[in-house]
Homo-oligomer: A and B are copies of this chain.
Amino acid sequence: MTTEYSGAGDPRRSLELLWGVREAPKRGPKPRLTAERIVRAAIGVADAEGLEALSMRRIAEELDVSAMSIYTYVPGKAELIDVMVDRTFGELTPPPGTGWRARLDHIARDNWALFHRHPWLLRVTLARPPMGPNTFAKYENELRAVEGVGLTDLEMDSVVALVTGFAESAARVSVNAAEAERRSGISDMQWWEAVSPVLDTFVNEDDYPLGTRVGTAAGMEYGSAIAPGRAFEFGLARVLDGIEVLISSR
């Protein structure tokens, strides 16, 4: 399952790392690394091999130093992951200026794409959000998308939480499916074909008539047990419709 929790260490040290404000040391040997390089290497490993492959030793190997050297630049793994998260949030782009619906649509798609570029983001449990520049900018952009449409501050907050939460939820399904395939080496369909005959010896399909019918229909249509892209499109349309009902009532 590979969940990582963000840290509860010294806030000042964490914030310095997030904002990149550490000045060069006055004495001692020339540093061979920077926090920035460590973060980049870590993101590279996590992107390519998943969060479960992201160990301090693995990062050190990537940078050709010993594992413990990393701790010169970073308080610990939890704080490093906080910075990794904030860095990737920097890839998000500001929404267009053409109306709230297009802006929320952009935010949802932008988040969806981000989670697919960095699937490990979905395995990180943010105990508290990383208080870095890109996390703040993300929230600011999201709120701007629904500014001036007649919602209260609290409603604006709730609306952007709904949209980003939906994007995360839909991306999770998609990423989980892709990872299951990568990890097991077999596709959804192949897996189902392997399990199905064995399952028949346990399950009476008549006990689950709707599930059998709908599950079969979905499998036929999508060529897979689930079609994450379609679920995203379908859900996003519903969520935006629901928000439209609220905004229209103002």
Give me the interface of A with B, judged by CB distance under 8 Å: 1-5, 8, 11-12, 15-16, 18-19, 21, 51-52, 123-128, 131, 133, 136-137, 139-140, 143-144, 147, 153-159, 161-162, 165-166, 168-170, 173, 176, 179-180, 183-184, 188, 191, 194-195, 198-199, 202-203, 207-211, 213-215, 217-218, 221, 230-231, 234-235, 237-246
Rounded to whole angstroms, the CA-CA distance of A131 and B127 in the bound complex is: 32
Rounded to whole angstroms, the CA-CA distance of A240 and B235 in the bound complex is: 11
Asked, given contacts A139-B208, A143-B210, A239-B238, whether A15 binds B198 with beta carbons under 8 Å apart, the answer is yes
Copies of this chain assembled into the complex: 2
Rounded to whole angstroms, the CA-CA distance of A211 and B157 in the bound complex is: 9
The A interface is mostly helix, strand or loop, or mixed, namely helix
A223 CB → nearest B CB, Å = 13
Q: Which residue of B lies closest to A186 (CB)?
A: B8
Contact A153 B213 (CB under 8 A): yes
Q: Which residue of B lies closest to A249 (CB)?
A: B241
Chain B residues positioned under 8 Å from A140 (CB to CB): 208-211
Rounded to whole angstroms, the CA-CA distance of A156 and B218 in the bound complex is: 10
Query: What are 8 A-B contacts with C-beta separation under 8 Å?
Result: A16-B202, A123-B125, A128-B191, A136-B207, A136-B208, A139-B208, A157-B215, A158-B235
Q: Which single member of B11, B166, B243 contacts A194 (CB below 8 Å)? A: B11
Chain B residues positioned under 8 Å from A165 (CB to CB): 166, 169-170, 173, 231, 235
Q: Which residue of B lies closest to A213 (CB)?
A: B153
Chain B residues positioned under 8 Å from A210 (CB to CB): 140, 143-144, 147
Rounded to whole angstroms, the CA-CA distance of A86 and B240 in the bound complex is: 33
Contact B162 A195 (CB under 8 A): no
Rounded to whole angstroms, the CA-CA distance of A247 and B244 in the bound complex is: 16
Q: Which single member of B11, B198, B234 contacts A195 (CB below 8 Å)? A: B11
A1 CB → nearest B CB, Å = 2
Asked, given contacts A136-B203, A208-B139, A211-B140, whether A241 binds B231 with beta carbons under 8 Å apart, the answer is no
Contact A214 B156 (CB under 8 A): yes
Most chain B CB atoms below 10 A, which of A16, A133, A154, A209: A154
Contact A162 B241 (CB under 8 A): no
Contact B214 A137 (CB under 8 A): no
Most chain B CB atoms below 10 A, which of A12, A18, A173, A242: A242
